[in-house]
Amino acid sequence: MTQLKYADRIREMAQEIFDDPGHSPWFSFRFLLKALSTVYGGAMALRAACYRQGIFPSYSMPCKVISVGNITAGGTGKTPMTLYLADLLFRMGYRTAVLSRGYKGKAEKRGGIVSDGENLLMGPEQAGDEPCMMAMRLGVPVLAGRDRVASGMRAVSEFAPDVLVLDDAFQHLRIRRDLNIVLIDSRRPFGNFCLIPRGALREPLSALRRADVCILTRCGRRPPAALERLLREHLPGIPVLKSSHRPKTALVSKGTHTSRLQFLPAEGSLTGLRVFAFSGIAQNSDFFDAVRACGANLTGTLGFPDHHAYGDSDFQAIMDAARRAGAQAVATTEKDWARIGNSRSWSLDLAVIGIDIELEDPRGDLVRLIETRLKNSEKAF
């Protein structure tokens, strides 16, 4: 527990730095981070220029390619949007395969097929949590691997897709794409506008001009006027759509094992229950808010780093804390569930909370853009 408290404090300090836009004295730690972020930003801009000029090679796949990504570190809803898009393409009649890096999975280095569209061929230890979660949700092939060119060619060879969907690939410039979708969190779009490590930006804002469409995530209302001005400045003439995260819940009864979850609408699903929540995602506080939104009486929380590999000591700490808090149930995310799987039974009921994307697109701009770009033979970054 002490190590977890230290990790929580480090994450809090990092978030404070990311959120602080103020100028710092030249001798401060923040000044050092600002200097490092300037170097990093220059390196990223140079890298992008080298791809544009052909100094670094980029490759065209023998099928259409759609990329989903963002410009900031942390969670903006890339995986839920990838799930939404893959399902949309499937319903539009396109044979689709999904490529993911497979972060922290054994397949990240060597590559591999997580699912053939019908059978789950890898667990979370091999595939990583996000590819495993997508494979469990989708009826299309899912592949993992850092080398997306190799993964893409393998997908083409074995599954003959019409479209490859790249998860978290806005900065992955080795593959040319037909449609580049960038996601921006409407609540904290660019943090303190500083680059890593002083802030959350992965690239300078000028990189947004590579996007073909922008989707604002977590939109509960009209975007702030300041954000709309920024989008007009950095995404001139690019469609900007709004989306919301809609939680859903599945219940695993205590003492049982299951590999299949039956999700139901989350609203009011945990009303009156005393719930202890734990998660290991980019924004744990967002998940804890979602548990409250399901009507739960949140008795306590425990946050882990993103992609955390749970061990026996972690589960013991979770259950001990839940019992001390008087919880009737524990709750975690669908992404954490994919990492944990049915490897254990629970001494309390477990609520698994997933996220679906609800896209506000009354004119059908995204479908029209997909159809247009998938008929166009010219690829771009």
d(CA 36, CA 30): 10
**pLDDT beyond 80 at 5:** no
| Domains of the chain listed by start with CATH number | 64-244+359-375 (3.40.50.300), 246-357 (3.40.50)
d(CA 76, CA 307): 15
Segment 312-322, tens digit of pLDDT: 899 999 999 99
The sign of the CA dihedral 259, 126, 381, 156 is: negative
The model carries a pTM of 0.88
**pLDDT beyond 80 at 221:** no
C-beta separation of 330 from 319 below 8 A:
yes
C-beta separation of 255 from 346 below 8 A:
yes
pLDDT confidence band for 142 (50 / 70 / 90)? very high
The residue whose two tokens read 């097929």 is 113
d(CA 327, CA 350): 11
Torsion of CA 128, 129, 134, 137, to 10 degrees: 130
- First-last CA distance in the chain: 45
The residue whose two tokens read 């939404």 is 84
Segment 147-201, tens digit of pLDDT: 999 999 999 999 999 999 999 999 999 999 999 999 999 888 998 899 999 999 9
Amino acid at 321: A
pLDDT confidence band for 232 (50 / 70 / 90)? confident
Segment 318-369, tens digit of pLDDT: 999 999 999 999 999 999 998 887 667 789 999 999 999 999 988 888 999 9
Segment 102-132, tens digit of pLDDT: 988 999 999 999 999 999 999 988 999 999 9
